[in-house]
Amino acid sequence: MLDVVFLCEGTYPFVPGGVSSWIHSLIVGMPELKFGIVYLAPSEKDAMKFRYEMPENVLDLVVVPLYDIVFKPQSRTPFQAAAWQEVTPFVKGVLRGEAVGFKQAFRHLSPDGDREPTLTVRELANSYQAWEVLTDAYRSYFPKASFNDFFWSWRYAFLPLFKLCLAEIPKARLYHTVTTGWSGLLATVASMRYKVPFITTEHGLYVNERRIEISQADWIYVDAPRRGALEVGLGTFKEIWINLFLALGKLCYQHTDRIYTLFQGNLQKEVEFGAPEEKIEIIPNGVDVTRFTEHPERALPKDPKVFRVGLVGRVVPIKDIKTFIKSVRFMNANIDRLEVYILGPTDEDENYFNECNTMVEALGLGDVITFTERVDVRSWYPCLDVQVLTSISEGQPLVLLEGFCSALPAVATDVGACREIIHGRSAEDRELGPAGTVTWVGNARQTAEAVIALYKNPEERKRRGEAGRERVFRYYRRDQMLQSYRSIYHSYTGASAEREVVS
Amino acid sequence: MAGIGFQLRRFTQEGTLKGFLKGYYNAALVAAGPWVLTVISLITIGYLMRQTSARTELFLETIIYIYAFSLITTAPFQLIVTRYLADQLDAQKLTAHIPSFLSVGLVSGLFHYTLGFLFFSYVEMGWVYTMVSSALFAMVSLVWLLLAFVGAVRAFHLVATSFASGTLVSILSAYYLGMHYQDVGYILGMLVGNSIIVVIGLVALAREFDSAVSFNFEWLHFFKKTPALAIAGAVYYLAIWSSIMIYWFTIGDPIQPHVLYAYEPLDLASFYAQMTILPAVIIFYVHNETNFYEDYRGFYNAVMARKSLNVIEKQKSILTENLKDALVNLTLIQAVVTFATVCFASTIQQALDMSDLERQLFVNMTLGAFPQAILLFVMVIMFYFQLYVESAITAGVALIGCLGVGAWTLYLGENTYGLGLLGGTLLGLAVGFYLLFTRISQLEYRTFSSQPMAEEVPFEPRMLTKSGNFGTYYIKDGKRLDVPDRSKGDKS
């Protein structure tokens, strides 16, 4: 039997990024444990290209397509009416953003040992009983909304949910989900199916990220505001989608044994989203400092006359690259020889990348800004003078900590753990001094001013860089993080560190 | 039927007597014209034949066989291509009409000619008779198919002209050719007349829809997509004709040795009886294309215009209530016509020179035509709601009923012959009503749940692991498995 199975949605091992690297380091760092992975892909038509060399202690990897609607042939079972009665509270709760009645619904949705679920996905999607449940929910909560849109929201929200209850999950002693949402649901299903615990680690807050995404989505119909309403809300259908993820988050929080998060800000929001505070513990992320301090190469030659600013991250809306580009315009007006590098893949959202490129051209910054695509950042940090992060949502951005290894000060938005990383978490930590500047989200001028201030004061820049280096060495080392998770895993799996390494 | 439907709504919404009459006149031309003209041709040619002391049985039975079987065998083509054209009209694609007509004409022509050839070869009346009769079988099928297309033609006076001139040509050429070539000549005359109908109809289509001469076989997919529709059409006509055929093959005599069995007292009587449903057919046609269509669109517009469930349900109630009212009204109209026909049966007997037995069978068939007409309406409404399986079941029940009651009448005596139609269609109607209104009561549910999802992927066993759950192992027990890359469309 496997020791730990990771439940990953759109991350490890097929999509690179902070969370993926973190999972990889945990697996590589604990060769004595046997790991499995369940990867939730949007569709089986998505290219599944391994982005990490798979460690030998990964014994099982299952890919489950999430949004492909497939009706698995299942035999009908008796007692349908009773089953529907037990499923209804859960379904209606999800539409309100509540996680109620999943235990009662579970046996009708998921196989349990040799027992097939009572209800088939087709029945859950298309039967008259399903229709009665959905119209009852509609009449209770959204009686005036467009029924057509409600129906489609229902289908697209619930079919993946029902389908996930039928997903393959390898047996293990412990399940570890790295987000709430769909992975959290799968972890809940795994835990109930095999009667074993699961733990949750949240880097970014899934509910929060989905809320931002859904608010900005233009594929969801927004109904007209109520007559006389002073405030224009998100509309019924965006609310339904947000409620779905809110409910999945609560479901995960209810059933998980422990919740690990990276920083204090996350903890507070998790409590807001329904997590019991007593389950939450902070384990900050760590970096392998030697990988950065002992890297001999430089991407660019030293040139004291040039001021180099870098943003390390994927070119995607959540990183708000457009605000960064706008801030470069202000920087460029105040810094003599400015070079700006956006270090990260551009192929994840090609439309957004094209828009960024157009913006660079329109602002006349073609000679200043360079998109480098994917690079070995270790050879870039030493070449930069300031690192900037303009994200609208972050967990605990490792790129800031990696930059600190090279004494690179940071200007970052006040999201996720950025404030803790730059100013320090504990009193002792804060005594080290700030390692950069924290700015508001979406404020290009403030970002630019912070960079310009550091440009104009090289002494302060150096001081802040050193504070960052000291902070990462003291509080954010990977070996500390690994040790924390090793003891967690071992406490659940009963394994000891001396156990034979998987060959 | 966008073209004629639009015109009919325009006429009936004028609110004047002239507009009202014009609407019904036009509906009569399209809905009942071909059938009336066919019967007129048969009666006139039969009358002319008797004047010239020609032998009428072979001609009449050949024609009856051709019409009976062509209705049964053409119905699947007609309904399938109508279903296809409805989708095309919905998508505003008007270029599909002519290529579809040419291709369905080709497929149906070949099919019917071959079928006719095989059948008429057994009549042993010589190769000319076989060729001409098979050609007429194929041509009459083309005429039925043409009816599926002309509904979309706005200039349907041209369609009316085609049927009227075709009938006239049929009568004249049959008379002329019959005098020189006897039976074959009469059949050839009908062939010429029907060819005229097809040619003028095709001209009307060509004027209406711009399209190069090409073929479009897309409609064939609907045989696979909606097989119940094709079955429903064929079984409905089989049910109607089985109530006549049962006498052909039991107590009937062969016109030629071993083939063309006929039970003459019933054959023409049934043709006359069918004429009694024409008023109701015309009224139904107008209602269908005007009020019902508006209610039907009203329901779907409420769905598409993002209305609340409350509004959608209200539209459904309006539709259901209006439909019930319309069916009740049609039943009353048909009841009056049937009652009057039965009351005046003796007068009709004298006018058409019928025997007493023929009169009784005419009455029996007229009684049967009453529920048959309502059954037809119910099935058409079912087609609108895409209740194809239900309509096939309804037609199936009617067929069983027609055969069952028909067989029973063989024991009851000749005065009851033909009552199979009454029994069978009443049975079918009961089932049809039940299925139609139970399904309509769940119309909103059926409408939504039948919507396909763009992300729906057909199930394949490979989507499941050995334990029967969704997923694909890329690594199992430490071994990397070879999983095909489906992003490139590799389905192996």
Mean pLDDT in residue range A365-393: 94
Residue-averaged pLDDT of chain B: 83
Residue A163, chain B, CB below 8 Å: the answer is yes
Phi, psi dihedrals of residue A315, rounded to the nearest 5°: -85, 85
Q: Which amino acid is at A239?
A: E
Residue-range domain boundaries for chain A:
2-68+167-207+248-282, 80-156, 289-476
The secondary structure of B90-143 as a DSSP string is: HTT--TTHHHHHHHHHHHHHHHHHHHHHHHHHTT-S-HHHHHHHHHHHHHHHHH
Phi, psi dihedrals of residue A112, rounded to the nearest 5°: -140, 105
Mean pLDDT in residue range B77-97: 80
Among chain A residues, the shortest Cα distance to B453 is held by A69
Whether residue B14 has pLDDT greater than 60: no
pLDDT tens digit sequence for B243-289 = 988 998 888 777 766 677 878 888 778 888 888 888 888 888 777 77
Residues B163 and B285 in one domain: no
Mean pLDDT in residue range A347-376: 94
Whether residue A112 has pLDDT greater than 90: no
Residues B217 and B275 in one domain: no
The pTM of the full predicted model, rounded to 2 decimals, is 0.74
Domain residue limits at B410 = 255-449
Among chain B residues, the shortest Cα distance to A57 is held by B478
pLDDT value, residue A503: 43
pLDDT tens digit sequence for A303-353 = 889 999 999 999 999 999 999 999 999 999 999 999 999 999 999 899 999
pLDDT value, residue A308: 97
CB contact under 8 A, A60 and B487: no
Whether residue A231 has pLDDT greater than 70: no
In a domain, B260, yes or no: yes
Residues in CB range of A280: below 8 A, 6 or more apart: A258, A259, A260, A261, A267, A270, A271
Of the listed ranges A20-34, B1-15, B185-199, B388-402, the least confidently predicted one is B1-15
pLDDT confidence band for A410 (50 / 70 / 90): very high
Residues B289 and B385 in one domain: yes
Which one has a higher pLDDT value, A483 or A224? Answer: A483
pLDDT confidence band for B175 (50 / 70 / 90): confident
Whether residue A233 has pLDDT greater than 80: no
pLDDT value, residue A26: 93
pLDDT tens digit sequence for B40-55 = 777 777 777 777 666 6
Map A210-234 to HEC letters. Answer: HHHHHHHCCCCCCCCCCCCCCCCCC
Whether residue A182 has pLDDT greater than 90: yes
Helix (H) or strand (E) holding A372: strand A369-373
- State the ipTM, two decimals: 0.81
Pairing of strands A369-373, A338-343: parallel
pLDDT tens digit sequence for A236-266 = 788 888 999 999 999 999 999 999 998 888 8
pLDDT tens digit sequence for A473-501 = 999 998 999 999 999 999 998 865 555 44
Helices (H), B260-308: 264-274, 278-287, 293-304
Whether residue B304 has pLDDT greater than 90: no
When divided into structural domains, chain B yields a total of 2
Mean pLDDT in residue range A190-200: 95
Nearest to B455 among A59, A69, A148 (CB): A69
Mean pLDDT in residue range B120-138: 86
* Class (C level, CATH) for A2-68+167-207+248-282: alpha beta
Q: Which of B225, B244, B277 is a domain's end point?
A: B225
Asked if A91 and A83 touch (Cβ cutoff 8 Å), the reply is: no
pLDDT > 90: percent of chain A: 62
**From CA A42, how far away is CA A79, in angstroms rounded?**
33
Residues B148 and B267 in one domain: no
Which one has a higher pLDDT value, B89 or A397? Answer: A397
B312: nearest Cα among A88, A144, A214? A144
Residues B345 and B219 in one domain: no
Whether residue B153 has pLDDT greater than 70: no
In a domain, B470, yes or no: no
pLDDT value, residue B490: 45
Quick one: CA torsion of B318, B320, B321, B324, rounded to 10 degrees?
150
Residue A333, chain B, CB below 8 Å: the answer is no
CB contact under 8 A, B487 and A169: no
SS3 content of chain B, % helix, strand, coil (to 5): 80, 5, 15
* Class (C level, CATH) for A289-476: alpha beta
A2-68+167-207+248-282 matches A289-476 in fold: yes
Find chain A residues with C-beta within 8 A of B483's C-beta: 48, 63
pLDDT value, residue A474: 93
Chain B residue set in contact with A, beta carbons under 8 Å: 303-304, 306-310, 312, 442, 445, 448-449, 453, 455-459, 463-465, 467-478, 480, 483, 485-487
**From CA B132, how far away is CA B370, in angstroms rounded?**
35
* Min Cα separation A137/chain B (Å): 12
Of the listed ranges A129-133, B160-164, B218-222, the least confidently predicted one is B160-164
Map A98-128 to HEC letters. Answer: CCCCHHHHHHHHCCECCECCCCCHHHHHHCH
Residues in CB range of B97: below 8 A, 6 or more apart: B85, B88, B149, B152, B205, B208, B209, B211
pLDDT tens digit sequence for B404-432 = 999 999 999 888 999 999 999 999 999 99
Q: Which of B411, B431, B449 is a domain's end point?
A: B449
Find chain B residues with C-beta within 8 A of A61's C-beta: 473-475
Count contacts between A and B (CB, < 8 Å).
117
pLDDT value, residue A325: 97
A253: nearest Cα among A217, A286, A227, A278? A278
pLDDT > 90: percent of chain B: 31
